[in-house]
Chains A and B, each alone.
Chain A
Amino acid sequence: MDEGIRVARKRLLQMHFESGVGHIGGNLSCLDALVLLHRERLAESDRFILSKGHAAGALYVALWSVGKLRDSDLSQFHRDDTLLPGHPPPSGVDGVLFATGSLGHGLSLAAGTALALKLQKAKGQVYCLTSDGEWQEGSTWEALIFAAHRRLANLTVLIDHNQLQGFGRTDAVASMSPLWSKLAGFDVDLSIVDGHDLSAIRTALDRESSTLRIIVLETRKGNGVSFMQDRMEWHYLPMQADQYRQAVEDIDNLWSDGDAQS
Protein backbone atom coordinates (compact mmCIF):
# COMPACT_ATOMS: atom_id res chain seq x y z
CA MET A 1 0.00 0.00 0.00
CA ASP A 2 1.24 3.40 -0.95
CA GLU A 3 2.65 5.25 2.03
CA GLY A 4 1.46 8.49 0.44
CA ILE A 5 -2.14 7.33 0.77
CA ARG A 6 -1.70 6.69 4.48
CA VAL A 7 -0.20 10.12 5.01
CA ALA A 8 -3.01 11.71 3.02
CA ARG A 9 -5.76 9.88 4.89
CA LYS A 10 -4.34 10.94 8.21
CA ARG A 11 -3.84 14.52 7.04
CA LEU A 12 -7.47 14.59 5.92
CA LEU A 13 -8.68 13.28 9.27
CA GLN A 14 -6.51 15.81 11.10
CA MET A 15 -7.76 18.70 9.01
CA HIS A 16 -11.41 17.81 9.43
CA PHE A 17 -10.98 17.14 13.13
CA GLU A 18 -9.11 20.36 13.86
CA SER A 19 -11.68 22.39 11.98
CA GLY A 20 -14.63 20.52 13.49
CA VAL A 21 -15.95 19.72 10.04
CA GLY A 22 -18.12 16.82 8.85
CA HIS A 23 -18.51 15.47 5.30
CA ILE A 24 -15.63 13.14 6.12
CA GLY A 25 -17.25 9.95 4.82
CA GLY A 26 -17.50 11.07 1.21
CA ASN A 27 -13.99 12.51 1.39
CA LEU A 28 -12.45 9.24 2.50
CA SER A 29 -14.27 7.36 -0.26
CA CYS A 30 -12.62 9.37 -3.04
CA LEU A 31 -9.32 10.37 -1.41
CA ASP A 32 -7.28 7.46 -2.76
CA ALA A 33 -8.23 8.19 -6.36
CA LEU A 34 -7.72 11.93 -5.95
CA VAL A 35 -4.27 11.54 -4.45
CA LEU A 36 -3.25 9.04 -7.12
CA LEU A 37 -4.51 11.32 -9.86
CA HIS A 38 -2.68 14.36 -8.53
CA ARG A 39 0.54 12.57 -7.69
CA GLU A 40 0.88 10.36 -10.71
CA ARG A 41 -1.26 11.63 -13.56
CA LEU A 42 -2.04 15.31 -13.72
CA ALA A 43 0.47 17.05 -15.99
CA GLU A 44 0.69 20.79 -16.59
CA SER A 45 -1.60 20.54 -19.62
CA ASP A 46 -4.23 18.46 -17.79
CA ARG A 47 -7.22 19.74 -15.84
CA PHE A 48 -9.15 18.39 -12.89
CA ILE A 49 -12.68 19.38 -11.89
CA LEU A 50 -14.25 18.20 -8.67
CA SER A 51 -17.95 17.88 -9.37
CA LYS A 52 -18.73 16.52 -5.90
CA GLY A 53 -17.69 19.77 -4.26
CA HIS A 54 -18.42 18.43 -0.78
CA ALA A 55 -15.21 16.43 -1.15
CA ALA A 56 -13.24 19.69 -1.08
CA GLY A 57 -11.23 18.37 1.88
CA ALA A 58 -9.95 15.44 -0.15
CA LEU A 59 -9.08 17.75 -3.02
CA TYR A 60 -7.21 20.16 -0.74
CA VAL A 61 -5.23 17.26 0.74
CA ALA A 62 -4.45 15.96 -2.75
CA LEU A 63 -3.21 19.43 -3.72
CA TRP A 64 -1.20 19.54 -0.49
CA SER A 65 0.33 16.17 -1.39
CA VAL A 66 1.78 17.70 -4.56
CA GLY A 67 2.89 20.93 -2.90
CA LYS A 68 0.16 23.21 -4.24
CA LEU A 69 -1.15 23.90 -0.74
CA ARG A 70 0.83 24.26 2.48
CA ASP A 71 0.21 22.89 5.95
CA SER A 72 -0.62 26.40 7.06
CA ASP A 73 -3.32 26.57 4.36
CA LEU A 74 -4.90 23.31 5.50
CA SER A 75 -4.87 24.46 9.10
CA GLN A 76 -7.18 27.31 8.08
CA PHE A 77 -9.71 24.97 6.39
CA HIS A 78 -13.29 26.05 7.06
CA ARG A 79 -12.26 28.97 9.33
CA ASP A 80 -12.78 32.72 9.03
CA ASP A 81 -10.56 34.45 6.47
CA THR A 82 -9.61 31.11 4.87
CA LEU A 83 -8.71 30.35 1.27
CA LEU A 84 -10.26 26.94 1.74
CA PRO A 85 -14.03 26.93 2.33
CA GLY A 86 -16.19 23.84 2.66
CA HIS A 87 -16.62 23.64 -1.10
CA PRO A 88 -14.00 24.63 -3.71
CA PRO A 89 -13.83 28.43 -4.16
CA PRO A 90 -14.06 30.34 -7.47
CA SER A 91 -10.52 31.68 -7.18
CA GLY A 92 -7.34 31.72 -5.15
CA VAL A 93 -6.34 28.02 -5.19
CA ASP A 94 -3.98 26.69 -7.83
CA GLY A 95 -5.60 23.51 -9.09
CA VAL A 96 -9.20 24.55 -8.45
CA LEU A 97 -10.72 25.73 -11.72
CA PHE A 98 -14.33 26.20 -10.68
CA ALA A 99 -16.39 26.75 -7.57
CA THR A 100 -18.47 23.61 -7.22
CA GLY A 101 -20.72 22.31 -4.51
CA SER A 102 -24.09 22.49 -6.18
CA LEU A 103 -24.24 19.03 -7.69
CA GLY A 104 -24.65 18.45 -11.39
CA HIS A 105 -22.36 21.22 -12.68
CA GLY A 106 -18.93 19.64 -12.80
CA LEU A 107 -19.39 17.22 -15.66
CA SER A 108 -20.63 20.02 -17.93
CA LEU A 109 -17.71 22.22 -16.90
CA ALA A 110 -15.34 19.35 -17.63
CA ALA A 111 -16.99 18.67 -20.99
CA GLY A 112 -16.68 22.34 -21.92
CA THR A 113 -13.02 22.34 -20.93
CA ALA A 114 -12.37 19.18 -22.94
CA LEU A 115 -14.18 20.68 -25.92
CA ALA A 116 -12.06 23.84 -25.62
CA LEU A 117 -8.84 21.80 -25.71
CA LYS A 118 -10.16 19.83 -28.67
CA LEU A 119 -11.08 22.99 -30.62
CA GLN A 120 -7.65 24.43 -29.86
CA LYS A 121 -6.06 21.11 -30.86
CA ALA A 122 -4.26 21.34 -27.54
CA LYS A 123 -2.99 18.32 -25.68
CA GLY A 124 -4.16 17.53 -22.21
CA GLN A 125 -6.64 15.28 -20.48
CA VAL A 126 -9.55 16.57 -18.43
CA TYR A 127 -10.55 14.58 -15.35
CA CYS A 128 -13.80 14.99 -13.48
CA LEU A 129 -14.88 13.31 -10.27
CA THR A 130 -18.60 13.02 -9.62
CA SER A 131 -20.46 11.45 -6.73
CA ASP A 132 -22.97 8.69 -7.39
CA GLY A 133 -25.85 10.64 -5.84
CA GLU A 134 -25.40 13.46 -8.32
CA TRP A 135 -26.41 11.17 -11.16
CA GLN A 136 -29.91 11.95 -9.88
CA GLU A 137 -29.38 15.47 -11.27
CA GLY A 138 -30.78 15.85 -14.78
CA SER A 139 -27.95 18.18 -15.75
CA THR A 140 -25.42 15.37 -15.20
CA TRP A 141 -27.20 13.37 -17.89
CA GLU A 142 -27.29 16.42 -20.16
CA ALA A 143 -23.52 16.57 -19.78
CA LEU A 144 -23.12 12.85 -20.46
CA ILE A 145 -25.23 13.07 -23.62
CA PHE A 146 -23.12 16.02 -24.79
CA ALA A 147 -19.72 14.50 -23.99
CA ALA A 148 -20.58 11.07 -25.39
CA HIS A 149 -22.10 12.51 -28.56
CA ARG A 150 -19.00 14.63 -29.16
CA ARG A 151 -16.74 11.68 -28.40
CA LEU A 152 -14.62 13.72 -26.01
CA ALA A 153 -11.80 11.22 -25.73
CA ASN A 154 -9.78 13.77 -23.77
CA LEU A 155 -12.27 13.56 -20.91
CA THR A 156 -12.21 10.97 -18.13
CA VAL A 157 -15.08 10.79 -15.67
CA LEU A 158 -14.51 9.12 -12.33
CA ILE A 159 -17.58 8.22 -10.29
CA ASP A 160 -17.19 7.82 -6.55
CA HIS A 161 -19.75 5.03 -6.20
CA ASN A 162 -19.97 4.70 -2.42
CA GLN A 163 -23.71 3.96 -2.58
CA LEU A 164 -24.58 6.33 0.24
CA GLN A 165 -26.02 9.80 -0.12
CA GLY A 166 -27.06 12.54 2.29
CA PHE A 167 -30.17 10.92 3.69
CA GLY A 168 -30.16 7.28 2.64
CA ARG A 169 -28.62 4.61 0.48
CA THR A 170 -28.66 5.56 -3.21
CA ASP A 171 -30.58 2.43 -4.12
CA ALA A 172 -33.21 3.24 -1.49
CA VAL A 173 -33.56 6.94 -2.37
CA ALA A 174 -33.69 6.85 -6.16
CA SER A 175 -32.42 3.58 -7.44
CA MET A 176 -30.57 3.29 -10.72
CA SER A 177 -28.92 0.16 -9.46
CA PRO A 178 -26.78 -0.91 -11.14
CA LEU A 179 -25.66 2.53 -12.29
CA TRP A 180 -23.08 1.10 -14.69
CA SER A 181 -25.75 -0.56 -16.83
CA LYS A 182 -27.34 2.83 -17.57
CA LEU A 183 -23.97 4.33 -18.43
CA ALA A 184 -23.13 1.37 -20.64
CA GLY A 185 -26.06 2.31 -22.87
CA PHE A 186 -24.02 5.28 -24.13
CA ASP A 187 -21.16 5.10 -26.56
CA VAL A 188 -18.51 5.38 -23.86
CA ASP A 189 -15.52 3.45 -22.62
CA LEU A 190 -16.64 2.09 -19.27
CA SER A 191 -14.62 0.41 -16.56
CA ILE A 192 -15.62 -0.60 -13.07
CA VAL A 193 -12.88 -0.94 -10.49
CA ASP A 194 -12.29 -1.14 -6.75
CA GLY A 195 -11.82 2.53 -5.90
CA HIS A 196 -9.38 1.70 -3.12
CA ASP A 197 -7.17 -0.55 -5.25
CA LEU A 198 -4.49 1.75 -6.65
CA SER A 199 -3.22 -0.67 -9.25
CA ALA A 200 -6.75 -1.27 -10.52
CA ILE A 201 -7.31 2.49 -10.82
CA ARG A 202 -4.00 2.85 -12.68
CA THR A 203 -4.98 0.09 -15.10
CA ALA A 204 -8.31 1.79 -15.80
CA LEU A 205 -6.59 5.15 -16.34
CA ASP A 206 -4.13 3.53 -18.75
CA ARG A 207 -6.83 2.22 -21.07
CA GLU A 208 -6.68 3.70 -24.54
CA SER A 209 -9.99 5.09 -25.72
CA SER A 210 -11.33 6.86 -28.75
CA THR A 211 -14.32 8.15 -26.85
CA LEU A 212 -15.37 9.42 -23.44
CA ARG A 213 -13.95 7.32 -20.61
CA ILE A 214 -15.97 6.57 -17.49
CA ILE A 215 -14.41 4.82 -14.53
CA VAL A 216 -16.84 3.70 -11.85
CA LEU A 217 -14.90 3.57 -8.59
CA GLU A 218 -16.54 1.13 -6.22
CA THR A 219 -15.73 2.78 -2.94
CA ARG A 220 -16.68 2.79 0.72
CA LYS A 221 -17.87 5.86 2.50
CA GLY A 222 -15.61 6.47 5.49
CA ASN A 223 -13.13 4.01 4.00
CA GLY A 224 -10.48 2.69 6.38
CA VAL A 225 -12.13 3.91 9.59
CA SER A 226 -13.89 1.10 11.44
CA PHE A 227 -16.81 3.04 12.84
CA MET A 228 -17.40 5.18 9.74
CA GLN A 229 -17.17 2.65 6.99
CA ASP A 230 -20.34 2.40 4.93
CA ARG A 231 -22.35 4.40 7.46
CA MET A 232 -24.56 7.22 6.27
CA GLU A 233 -24.20 9.51 9.28
CA TRP A 234 -20.56 10.17 8.34
CA HIS A 235 -21.78 12.04 5.31
CA TYR A 236 -22.30 14.98 7.68
CA LEU A 237 -20.97 14.38 11.21
CA PRO A 238 -17.80 15.91 12.63
CA MET A 239 -15.50 13.73 14.79
CA GLN A 240 -15.17 13.95 18.55
CA ALA A 241 -11.66 13.69 20.06
CA ASP A 242 -11.92 10.00 20.94
CA GLN A 243 -13.33 9.23 17.52
CA TYR A 244 -10.47 11.06 15.86
CA ARG A 245 -7.92 9.05 17.88
CA GLN A 246 -9.68 5.83 16.91
CA ALA A 247 -9.80 6.85 13.24
CA VAL A 248 -6.06 7.55 13.10
CA GLU A 249 -5.37 4.27 14.86
CA ASP A 250 -7.54 2.42 12.35
CA ILE A 251 -5.63 3.90 9.43
CA ASP A 252 -2.25 3.05 10.98
CA ASN A 253 -3.40 -0.48 11.75
CA LEU A 254 -4.26 -1.06 8.10
CA TRP A 255 -0.65 -0.49 7.19
CA SER A 256 0.85 -2.46 10.08
CA ASP A 257 -1.49 -5.37 9.27
CA GLY A 258 -0.09 -5.31 5.77
CA ASP A 259 -3.58 -5.08 4.29
CA ALA A 260 -2.67 -3.48 1.02
CA GLN A 261 -6.10 -2.74 -0.32
CA SER A 262 -8.30 -1.29 2.42
Chain B
Amino acid sequence: MRKQFCDALVARSRSSNMVFLTGDLGFMALETLQEALGDRFINAGVSEQNMVSVSAALAREGFEVWVYSIAPFCYARPFEQIRNDVAFHGLPVKLVGNGGGYGYGVMGPTHHAIEDYGVLLTLPGMSAVVPVFDEDVEEAIQAVGDRGSPVYLRLGRGAGPKGYAPPRYAAWRQLVRGAGPTVVVAGPLAGAYVEAFAALAEERRPNLWAVAELPVSAEALPPELLEQIAESGRLCVFEEHVRQGGLGSQLAMALADAGVAFPKWRQGVAREHHYERSGSQDYLRRQSGLDAQSALAVVAEMMNGSR
Protein backbone atom coordinates (compact mmCIF):
# COMPACT_ATOMS: atom_id res chain seq x y z
CA MET B 1 0.00 0.00 0.00
CA ARG B 2 3.02 2.28 0.25
CA LYS B 3 2.88 3.36 -3.39
CA GLN B 4 -0.81 4.25 -3.13
CA PHE B 5 -0.11 5.99 0.17
CA CYS B 6 2.57 8.20 -1.36
CA ASP B 7 0.44 9.04 -4.40
CA ALA B 8 -2.57 9.91 -2.24
CA LEU B 9 -0.50 12.21 -0.05
CA VAL B 10 1.07 13.94 -3.03
CA ALA B 11 -2.44 14.62 -4.34
CA ARG B 12 -3.69 15.79 -0.96
CA SER B 13 -0.66 18.03 -0.41
CA ARG B 14 -1.86 20.31 -3.19
CA SER B 15 -4.74 21.52 -1.06
CA SER B 16 -3.42 21.15 2.47
CA ASN B 17 -0.76 22.67 4.69
CA MET B 18 0.63 19.21 5.26
CA VAL B 19 3.87 18.54 7.12
CA PHE B 20 5.22 15.01 6.75
CA LEU B 21 7.74 13.62 9.20
CA THR B 22 9.55 10.35 8.70
CA GLY B 23 11.83 8.50 11.07
CA ASP B 24 14.45 8.04 8.36
CA LEU B 25 12.28 5.67 6.29
CA GLY B 26 10.94 5.94 2.78
CA PHE B 27 13.94 5.26 0.55
CA MET B 28 12.71 4.29 -2.93
CA ALA B 29 9.14 5.01 -1.84
CA LEU B 30 8.53 8.56 -0.66
CA GLU B 31 10.79 10.58 -2.96
CA THR B 32 7.90 12.09 -4.92
CA LEU B 33 6.28 13.25 -1.69
CA GLN B 34 9.58 14.72 -0.55
CA GLU B 35 9.77 16.65 -3.79
CA ALA B 36 6.16 17.84 -3.56
CA LEU B 37 6.44 19.08 0.03
CA GLY B 38 9.85 20.75 -0.03
CA ASP B 39 10.68 22.07 3.45
CA ARG B 40 7.47 20.56 4.84
CA PHE B 41 8.93 17.07 4.31
CA ILE B 42 11.05 16.42 7.36
CA ASN B 43 13.36 13.50 7.86
CA ALA B 44 13.46 13.69 11.64
CA GLY B 45 16.21 11.12 11.83
CA VAL B 46 16.30 8.01 13.96
CA SER B 47 14.54 9.65 16.90
CA GLU B 48 10.90 8.69 17.09
CA GLN B 49 10.25 10.19 20.51
CA ASN B 50 11.35 13.62 19.36
CA MET B 51 9.51 13.19 16.07
CA VAL B 52 6.17 12.58 17.76
CA SER B 53 6.50 15.50 20.18
CA VAL B 54 7.55 17.77 17.32
CA SER B 55 4.49 16.60 15.40
CA ALA B 56 2.23 17.48 18.34
CA ALA B 57 3.65 20.99 18.41
CA LEU B 58 3.30 21.41 14.64
CA ALA B 59 -0.33 20.28 14.89
CA ARG B 60 -0.96 22.72 17.70
CA GLU B 61 0.30 25.51 15.46
CA GLY B 62 -2.24 24.52 12.80
CA PHE B 63 -0.41 22.20 10.41
CA GLU B 64 -1.85 18.94 9.10
CA VAL B 65 0.79 16.58 10.42
CA TRP B 66 1.61 13.06 9.25
CA VAL B 67 4.19 10.94 11.06
CA TYR B 68 5.59 7.88 9.35
CA SER B 69 7.66 4.91 10.39
CA ILE B 70 7.69 1.12 10.46
CA ALA B 71 4.64 0.30 12.59
CA PRO B 72 6.31 -0.62 15.92
CA PHE B 73 8.68 2.35 15.78
CA CYS B 74 5.71 4.61 15.14
CA TYR B 75 3.75 3.74 18.29
CA ALA B 76 5.67 1.50 20.70
CA ARG B 77 8.89 3.50 21.08
CA PRO B 78 7.19 6.91 21.38
CA PHE B 79 4.08 5.72 23.23
CA GLU B 80 4.37 8.26 26.03
CA GLN B 81 4.85 11.07 23.52
CA ILE B 82 1.66 9.94 21.76
CA ARG B 83 -0.18 9.73 25.07
CA ASN B 84 0.98 12.97 26.71
CA ASP B 85 1.73 15.27 23.82
CA VAL B 86 -0.74 14.17 21.14
CA ALA B 87 -3.72 12.46 22.82
CA PHE B 88 -3.97 14.49 26.03
CA HIS B 89 -4.22 17.62 23.89
CA GLY B 90 -6.58 16.10 21.34
CA LEU B 91 -4.23 17.03 18.52
CA PRO B 92 -5.13 15.61 15.09
CA VAL B 93 -1.73 14.05 14.38
CA LYS B 94 -1.84 11.24 11.84
CA LEU B 95 0.40 8.38 12.91
CA VAL B 96 1.24 6.06 10.05
CA GLY B 97 2.64 2.62 10.78
CA ASN B 98 3.86 0.71 7.77
CA GLY B 99 3.76 -3.09 7.83
CA GLY B 100 1.19 -3.60 10.57
CA GLY B 101 0.65 -7.08 12.01
CA TYR B 102 3.30 -9.54 10.80
CA GLY B 103 3.90 -7.33 7.75
CA TYR B 104 7.68 -7.31 8.14
CA GLY B 105 7.63 -11.10 8.25
CA VAL B 106 11.08 -12.64 8.36
CA MET B 107 12.63 -9.35 9.50
CA GLY B 108 11.68 -10.59 12.95
CA PRO B 109 9.50 -9.76 15.94
CA THR B 110 11.11 -6.38 16.69
CA HIS B 111 9.57 -5.21 13.41
CA HIS B 112 6.09 -6.68 13.95
CA ALA B 113 3.11 -4.75 15.28
CA ILE B 114 0.48 -7.14 16.59
CA GLU B 115 -0.69 -5.05 19.54
CA ASP B 116 -0.63 -1.65 17.85
CA TYR B 117 -4.25 -0.56 17.57
CA GLY B 118 -5.22 -2.31 20.80
CA VAL B 119 -2.67 -0.30 22.74
CA LEU B 120 -3.36 2.98 20.96
CA LEU B 121 -7.14 2.76 21.29
CA THR B 122 -6.78 2.95 25.06
CA LEU B 123 -5.87 6.63 24.58
CA PRO B 124 -8.44 9.45 24.67
CA GLY B 125 -9.92 10.37 21.31
CA MET B 126 -7.73 7.93 19.39
CA SER B 127 -9.06 6.00 16.42
CA ALA B 128 -7.48 3.61 13.94
CA VAL B 129 -7.84 3.09 10.21
CA VAL B 130 -6.79 -0.23 8.70
CA PRO B 131 -7.26 -0.23 4.90
CA VAL B 132 -8.21 -3.64 3.54
CA PHE B 133 -7.27 -3.29 -0.13
CA ASP B 134 -4.72 -1.24 -2.02
CA GLU B 135 -7.69 0.45 -3.68
CA ASP B 136 -8.84 1.71 -0.25
CA VAL B 137 -5.81 3.83 0.40
CA GLU B 138 -6.84 6.94 -1.49
CA GLU B 139 -10.15 7.29 0.36
CA ALA B 140 -8.65 6.15 3.63
CA ILE B 141 -6.12 8.97 3.36
CA GLN B 142 -8.94 11.49 2.98
CA ALA B 143 -10.74 9.97 5.99
CA VAL B 144 -7.59 10.14 8.10
CA GLY B 145 -6.58 13.57 6.80
CA ASP B 146 -9.96 15.14 7.52
CA ARG B 147 -10.26 13.72 11.03
CA GLY B 148 -9.97 16.35 13.75
CA SER B 149 -8.60 13.96 16.36
CA PRO B 150 -5.53 11.73 16.65
CA VAL B 151 -5.59 8.72 14.36
CA TYR B 152 -3.40 5.72 13.66
CA LEU B 153 -3.19 4.43 10.10
CA ARG B 154 -2.03 0.83 9.88
CA LEU B 155 -0.71 0.09 6.41
CA GLY B 156 -0.38 -3.49 5.24
CA ARG B 157 -0.38 -5.44 2.02
CA GLY B 158 -3.63 -5.62 0.09
CA ALA B 159 -4.48 -9.26 -0.63
CA GLY B 160 -7.68 -9.51 -2.68
CA PRO B 161 -8.02 -12.23 -5.36
CA LYS B 162 -6.54 -11.50 -8.79
CA GLY B 163 -8.80 -9.23 -10.79
CA TYR B 164 -11.09 -8.64 -7.83
CA ALA B 165 -12.81 -5.26 -7.67
CA PRO B 166 -13.42 -4.54 -3.99
CA PRO B 167 -16.46 -2.55 -2.91
CA ARG B 168 -15.80 1.11 -2.26
CA TYR B 169 -13.92 1.97 0.94
CA ALA B 170 -16.08 2.01 4.08
CA ALA B 171 -15.60 1.26 7.77
CA TRP B 172 -17.72 -1.90 7.36
CA ARG B 173 -18.09 -3.83 4.11
CA GLN B 174 -19.59 -7.19 3.34
CA LEU B 175 -17.32 -9.05 0.92
CA VAL B 176 -18.99 -12.48 0.71
CA ARG B 177 -22.64 -13.48 1.26
CA GLY B 178 -23.98 -16.86 2.28
CA ALA B 179 -26.09 -18.75 4.80
CA GLY B 180 -23.20 -19.82 7.04
CA PRO B 181 -21.58 -18.22 10.08
CA THR B 182 -20.79 -14.52 10.31
CA VAL B 183 -17.08 -13.86 9.95
CA VAL B 184 -15.66 -10.42 10.78
CA VAL B 185 -12.06 -9.63 9.84
CA ALA B 186 -9.83 -6.61 10.39
CA GLY B 187 -7.81 -5.12 7.56
CA PRO B 188 -6.04 -6.89 4.68
CA LEU B 189 -6.57 -10.34 6.14
CA ALA B 190 -10.20 -10.07 4.99
CA GLY B 191 -9.07 -9.86 1.39
CA ALA B 192 -7.07 -13.05 1.82
CA TYR B 193 -10.27 -14.99 2.67
CA VAL B 194 -12.47 -13.81 -0.18
CA GLU B 195 -11.57 -16.46 -2.72
CA ALA B 196 -11.68 -19.45 -0.35
CA PHE B 197 -14.96 -18.39 1.24
CA ALA B 198 -16.70 -17.52 -2.03
CA ALA B 199 -15.99 -21.03 -3.33
CA LEU B 200 -18.07 -22.69 -0.60
CA ALA B 201 -21.63 -23.91 -1.20
CA GLU B 202 -24.16 -21.31 -0.13
CA GLU B 203 -25.48 -23.10 2.96
CA ARG B 204 -21.95 -23.32 4.38
CA ARG B 205 -20.66 -20.05 2.93
CA PRO B 206 -19.95 -17.40 5.58
CA ASN B 207 -21.08 -13.81 5.56
CA LEU B 208 -17.65 -12.20 5.41
CA TRP B 209 -17.27 -8.66 6.68
CA ALA B 210 -14.18 -6.48 6.47
CA VAL B 211 -13.60 -3.84 9.12
CA ALA B 212 -11.37 -0.88 8.26
CA GLU B 213 -12.01 1.50 11.17
CA LEU B 214 -11.69 1.06 14.91
CA PRO B 215 -12.81 1.24 17.63
CA VAL B 216 -16.06 -0.60 17.03
CA SER B 217 -19.06 1.08 18.58
CA ALA B 218 -22.54 -0.36 19.04
CA GLU B 219 -24.07 2.57 17.14
CA ALA B 220 -21.94 1.99 14.05
CA LEU B 221 -22.73 -1.73 13.63
CA PRO B 222 -24.47 -2.31 10.26
CA PRO B 223 -28.08 -3.50 10.77
CA GLU B 224 -27.52 -6.28 8.24
CA LEU B 225 -24.62 -7.61 10.29
CA LEU B 226 -26.80 -7.73 13.38
CA GLU B 227 -29.52 -9.59 11.46
CA GLN B 228 -27.02 -12.14 10.21
CA ILE B 229 -25.60 -12.74 13.68
CA ALA B 230 -29.12 -13.13 15.09
CA GLU B 231 -29.97 -15.52 12.27
CA SER B 232 -26.95 -17.82 12.49
CA GLY B 233 -25.91 -17.36 16.10
CA ARG B 234 -22.40 -18.14 14.94
CA LEU B 235 -19.80 -15.39 15.00
CA CYS B 236 -16.12 -15.60 14.26
CA VAL B 237 -13.52 -12.82 14.32
CA PHE B 238 -10.09 -12.94 12.70
CA GLU B 239 -7.36 -10.35 13.05
CA GLU B 240 -3.60 -10.05 12.82
CA HIS B 241 -3.48 -8.68 16.36
CA VAL B 242 -3.29 -10.14 19.84
CA ARG B 243 -6.55 -11.11 21.52
CA GLN B 244 -6.40 -8.36 24.15
CA GLY B 245 -7.87 -5.07 23.00
CA GLY B 246 -8.39 -6.15 19.42
CA LEU B 247 -11.35 -6.18 17.04
CA GLY B 248 -12.69 -9.33 18.72
CA SER B 249 -12.94 -7.84 22.17
CA GLN B 250 -14.26 -4.56 20.81
CA LEU B 251 -16.94 -6.29 18.76
CA ALA B 252 -17.95 -8.52 21.67
CA MET B 253 -18.37 -5.46 23.88
CA ALA B 254 -20.29 -3.56 21.20
CA LEU B 255 -22.67 -6.51 20.70
CA ALA B 256 -23.14 -6.79 24.44
CA ASP B 257 -23.93 -3.06 24.52
CA ALA B 258 -26.42 -3.56 21.69
CA GLY B 259 -28.02 -6.55 23.42
CA VAL B 260 -27.20 -8.95 20.59
CA ALA B 261 -26.50 -12.57 21.56
CA PHE B 262 -23.90 -14.68 19.75
CA PRO B 263 -24.09 -18.14 21.34
CA LYS B 264 -21.29 -19.63 19.26
CA TRP B 265 -18.06 -17.59 19.18
CA ARG B 266 -14.60 -18.27 17.76
CA GLN B 267 -11.56 -16.03 17.45
CA GLY B 268 -8.45 -16.22 15.34
CA VAL B 269 -5.63 -13.94 16.50
CA ALA B 270 -1.91 -13.37 16.25
CA ARG B 271 -0.93 -15.99 18.80
CA GLU B 272 2.73 -15.28 19.45
CA HIS B 273 5.16 -12.40 19.20
CA HIS B 274 7.81 -14.88 18.18
CA TYR B 275 7.82 -18.54 17.28
CA GLU B 276 10.71 -21.03 17.38
CA ARG B 277 11.38 -20.32 13.72
CA SER B 278 11.01 -17.16 11.67
CA GLY B 279 9.33 -16.70 8.33
CA SER B 280 7.31 -14.54 5.98
CA GLN B 281 4.02 -12.86 6.83
CA ASP B 282 2.20 -15.80 5.22
CA TYR B 283 4.28 -18.24 7.29
CA LEU B 284 3.50 -16.38 10.51
CA ARG B 285 -0.20 -16.22 9.62
CA ARG B 286 -0.17 -20.02 9.20
CA GLN B 287 1.59 -20.43 12.54
CA SER B 288 -1.17 -18.35 14.16
CA GLY B 289 -3.97 -20.12 12.32
CA LEU B 290 -4.86 -16.97 10.39
CA ASP B 291 -4.32 -18.21 6.83
CA ALA B 292 -7.35 -18.94 4.62
CA GLN B 293 -7.12 -22.73 5.11
CA SER B 294 -7.16 -22.37 8.89
CA ALA B 295 -10.07 -19.94 8.67
CA LEU B 296 -11.98 -22.42 6.50
CA ALA B 297 -11.41 -25.13 9.10
CA VAL B 298 -12.79 -22.91 11.86
CA VAL B 299 -15.85 -22.09 9.76
CA ALA B 300 -16.45 -25.77 8.99
CA GLU B 301 -16.11 -26.70 12.65
CA MET B 302 -18.65 -24.01 13.57
CA MET B 303 -21.11 -25.37 11.02
CA ASN B 304 -20.83 -28.88 12.41
CA GLY B 305 -21.81 -27.99 15.93
CA SER B 306 -25.42 -27.30 16.86
CA ARG B 307 -26.48 -23.72 17.54
Contact = CB atoms under 8 A, between A and B. Distances in A.
- Answer yes or no: are A and B bound together in one complex: yes
B85 interface: yes
B34 to A, nearest CB: 15
B61 interface: yes
A108 B45 CA distance: 13
Interface string B42-70: 10110101101111111011110000000
Contacts of B50: 108, 111, 139, 142-143, 145-146
B6 to A, nearest CB: 21
User: Residue among B42, B81, B84 with the most chain A CB within 10 A?
Assistant: B84
Interface in B1-36: 19
Given A119-B39, A142-B49, A143-B50, A113 B84 contact: no
B63 A109 contact: no
A119 B63 contact: yes
Contact of A146 (B39, B44, B84): B44
Majority secondary structure, B binding face: helix
Q: How many residues of A sit at the interface, in one of the four size bands? A: 20 to 34
Contacts of A91: 89
Given A91-B89, A102-B84, A109 B45 contact: no
B195 interface: no
B56 A109 contact: yes
Contacts of B45: 142, 145-146, 149
A108 B81 contact: yes
A113 B44 CA distance: 15
B81 A111 contact: no
Contacts of B286: none
Interface in A85-115: 90-91, 97-100, 102, 104-105, 108-113, 115
Contact of B58 (A102, A115, A142): A115
A112 B54 contact: yes
User: Residue among A99, A100, A112 with the most chain B CB within 10 A?
Assistant: A112
A138 interface: yes
A180 B50 CA distance: 22
A250 B52 CA distance: 44
Contacts of B89: 90-91, 98-99
User: Residue among B39, B40, B85, B89 with the most chain A CB within 10 A?
Assistant: B85
B16 to A, nearest CB: 13
A99 B88 contact: yes
Contact of A108 (B19, B53, B63, B88): B53
Contact of B54 (A97, A104, A146, A149): A146
Contact of B61 (A100, A117, A138): A117
B80 interface: yes
A256 interface: no
Interface in A102-135: 102, 104-105, 108-113, 115-117, 119-120
A113 B53 contact: no
B70 to A, nearest CB: 17
B54 A115 contact: yes
A189 to B, nearest CB: 20
B57 A142 contact: no
A110 B60 CA distance: 11
Contact of A119 (B40, B44, B80, B85): B40
Contacts of B88: 90, 99
B49 A109 contact: no
A115 B62 CA distance: 12
Contact of A111 (B40, B54, B80, B84): B54
Contacts of B58: 112, 115-116, 119
Nearest to B50: A142
A116 B63 contact: yes
Contacts of B62: 116
Contacts of A142: 45, 47, 49-50
Contacts of A97: 60
Interface in B80-94: 80-81, 84-85, 88-89
A179 B80 CA distance: 26
B23 to A, nearest CB: 11
Given A119-B39, A142-B49, 5 more contacts: A108-B50, A109-B57, A111-B54, A119-B63, A138-B49
8 contacts: A97-B60, A100-B84, A102-B84, A112-B56, A112-B58, A115-B42, A116-B57, A138-B49
Interface of A: 90-91, 97-100, 102, 104-105, 108-113, 115-117, 119-120, 138-139, 142-143, 145-146, 149
